[in-house]
Chain A
């Protein structure tokens, strides 16, 4: 069973409440202790990231944490990255939701269609901003593109239906991942992924960031470690963004959610998860390309 601060089954109201509910009185103390602890973490992580033969870098994501900490039989065999309906749906779905929240379109379907059209147009014009995914989409036959569009629409609609969007104090940020580059080592970078970022307040009225992470696959024991590692990255990035307060992991397939309040314990767990992942990657070559592209 996943170990976390709280878990349950979500309805739109329940998931929104879990994400946005005000912080308790302990958040004030937690905030100070977390920021204190965060000062030591960059040095600790740099020491852990001992360069490997060949000078390969460590670009760690939640996927690597899951892979490193999960049971050996729970991980699908690694295959070279390739664009597919599966790997493209998040990027297209997020683009569709952004368009929806800005009022540019009126439904997830329209948002995804707009995202696909933009991608194909950029690729056909040879624009510098065209991504590898854009070029891949542009090269697909119409039916293949339709299948990709269908997958992205489903992904986006599930997320759209999962939250009460009117409850947000201000429009949330959709799908901006944060990368933290180690100041001590150019070989180490860590990613925090979140599909929805918003703000909740502590008792003093100060804002803390809250993060909704869409989780795939079965419920698993590593989920706390995955969220903790992402929380740690948010803390390390917080000098240039809001201090983080909460991570909520949500499984669209089952409706389950897991909430992690970001306190010192979560931070320690995050460091431990990264340490174990780095140790694991010492024996297993790490493939960054695929997960980084799919998450872009």
Chain B
């Protein structure tokens, strides 16, 4: 059986590693993406089931990535979790995202949320 695919779009190396470990713990296949341009390239070739999205990214911002995902029918089933330190900006995107998490986000919390959004 193929594992569901999760993107961890996060420019901070350590945080990306923690999140991806937590998500893998929740039985996802994970891909760490470190900048916006790379994220766009990946989204062209594959459709993730879950996206852990940081907002402040080099290249293309998280907001633009979110917009692209929400405007493309290919990603109709994709769940997007915003994981950002910017509470104010995140608040504005609450409607478009499935979940908004404000950093710091613990390992176990991330794992539990990923479990919650696992496609059945």
- A and B assemble together: no
